[in-house]
Every structure is written in structure tokens, then in C-alpha cells.
Structure 1
Amino acid sequence: MGTYRQIFYHIVFGTKHRKPTINENNESELYKYIWGILKNKKCKLYRINGMPDHIHIFCDLHPNINLSNLVKDIKVANNLWMKESALFPEFVGWQEGYGAFTSSMRDKERIINYIKNQKEHHKTETFEDEFKKLLTEHGIEPEQTLN
């Protein structure tokens, strides 16, 4: 019998000091690059989007992959590529921590739509408020936020 799994993660992380350094004209290049990293690790990307100061990734985690290593690999590879590509001249790096929230099949479409509509949400909500809301929704005390 084969191995079956369904491990959805909604991963969120910000730029260093939450500075708006992800150039919106080139963000799709960045998203393609992250998609490539996920594919190489046998993880399926369902949706990626973000704002100049943070990124949301909704993906399936391959059972052989450790979540913290995946996030670290995405950040390290991106950090290098973003600086070398010269597409993001303002970019200095990513913040240390990240948020990662598991979800069920039932929530899949809702999360995909939420990520798809990032630009809309952030007309009225800051990244900080959004992140606090995500923590609260998942039963995590907001004072444990990441710097």
C-alpha cells in the first residue's frame, strides 16, 4: 500500500523590520522562484501572494520535509536570489520568525481566496493586525508575536 497524506500549511513571513521591500512589479518573479523551491521539495503550491512587506504561501507539505527546514530553505534561497537578481534593490532580508498554520480540506478554498485577495485586505488592515488575527484564530496568544 502507498503512503497518502494531506498536510496543508498556511505559511506567513515578513521582510526584515517589516519594510516594504518586495517590489510589486517583480513580485510574480519571486512567487515563481518560491514555487520552484517547493516543487523541488515535492511540496504542492496551492496559492502564493503577498504585499511589499510580507508573503503568504499555502502549500501541501511532503512527509519527508520538515516545516522549519522548508521555511528556512525558502528564505535563504530567496534572500540570495532577490539580492543577485537586482529586481528588489531595497530588499535586505527576511524577518527571523514565521507563522505556519495547519488547515483542513474544508478550509482549503477559503484560505486560497483569502491569499488571492491580499491586496484588498490590506487596503484596510496592516500586516501586524492581520498576523495577530491569524494567531488568535489558531488559538495562539498574540503577545508571542514574531519580531
Structure 2
Amino acid sequence: MSYIKTYIHFVWSTKNRFPFLDNKELRQKVWYHIKENATEKGIFVDFVNGYSNHCHCLVSLGADQTIQKTMQLIKGESSFWINKNKLCLDKFEWQDEYFAVSVSESMLDKVRNYIKNQEQHHAKQTFEEEYEEFMIKYNFPKE
């Protein structure tokens, strides 16, 4: 029997980084739904949280799961669910793009804590500032 443990930290934003998820109660409802729906689809979401315009999700991929398919299932279904339940005044959409990076087992607690503390983190730094800092730190090309 194969033993596979591949953790991926996903981050994605709302369309045009619009703050659709503008209150804590709404965010918690969405994060809970993402985790519950992922479980139904056989996706193990270790931790999920975010802020008004983005989501962080720590996922342990199974042997037959790809990054692309996992994102398609999580983002597509949650967007559909948010709109079906009229949780936002305007039509809700996630941005097409996303960020995905592997996480070593030794860093899991650090990543979980980072995801857990999104509310406090973004009281000090916007998602845009964090994104820009990340792009510079890892020498990614500008958009």
C-alpha cells in the first residue's frame, strides 16, 4: 500500500480582489462550507481561513488528486454555493489565478498558525502589500 503525504498551501483572491467577504460571520460560513464540501469530494482540507478578499487553504493531496482539479472543485463549488445562497449582494466570483506551494511536514504548524491568524495579520498588512512582498522575496516576474 502506498503512503503519500503532500501538503499544499493554496491562496486565491476574490475577483479583482473585491472585499466580497466583508464580515467575519460570512467568512466563517464560507470557510466551513469549503471544508465540508471538500470532505464530501475526498479532499482533505487541513486548515482554511482568509480575509475579506482572499482565502488560504492547507490541503493534503491524495494520490489521484492534482493541484488544478483540487482548485477547480474548491473554488468552483464554493463560488456557486455563495451565489445560490445569496450570501453577497453582488455576483460573487473568485479570481481565476491562484498560488500553490508545497509545505514540508516540519513547517505545517507554522503554516497552520499563519492561516489561523489572518484577521490579525491583515489588520497590519493588506493582501496587496503581502502579495507584492512575496513576489519580490521569491523573485517572481511582475504581472
Q: TM-score, normalised by structure 2?
A: 0.89
Indicate whether 1:106 and 2:118 are aligned.
no
Change in CA separation of 1:4 and 1:140 when aligned onto 2, cut-off 3 Å = farther
Q: Which moves more between the two structures, 38-47 or 74-83?
A: 38-47
- Residues matched between the structures, number: 142
Q: What SS is found at the alignment partner of 1:11? A: strand
1:59 alignment partner in structure 2? 59
C-alpha RMSD of matched pairs (Å): 1.7
Q: Which sections of structure 1, spanning at least 5 residues, go unmatched?
A: none
CA distance in 2 between counterparts of 1:91 and 1:54 reads 16
- Percent identity, aligned pairs only, is 25
Equivalent pair of 1:22/1:91 in contact (CA under 8 Å): no
CA separation in 2, counterparts of 1:133 and 1:142? 12
CA distance in 2, matches of 1:71, 1:106: 24
Give the Cα separation in 1 of the matches to 2:132 and 2:8.
Answer: 17
CA distance in 2 between partners of 1:135 and 1:6 (Å): 27
* CA displacement at 1:136 relative to structure 2: 5.1
Deviations 1:77-135 (A, max 9, x none): 11111011122223530111000010100100000000111011111111122223444
Residues of 2 paired with 1:124 and 1:82: CA distance?
28
CA distance in 1, matches of 2:33, 2:41: 13
Structure 2 gaps, min length 5: none
User: Secondary structure at the residue paired with 2:62?
Assistant: coil
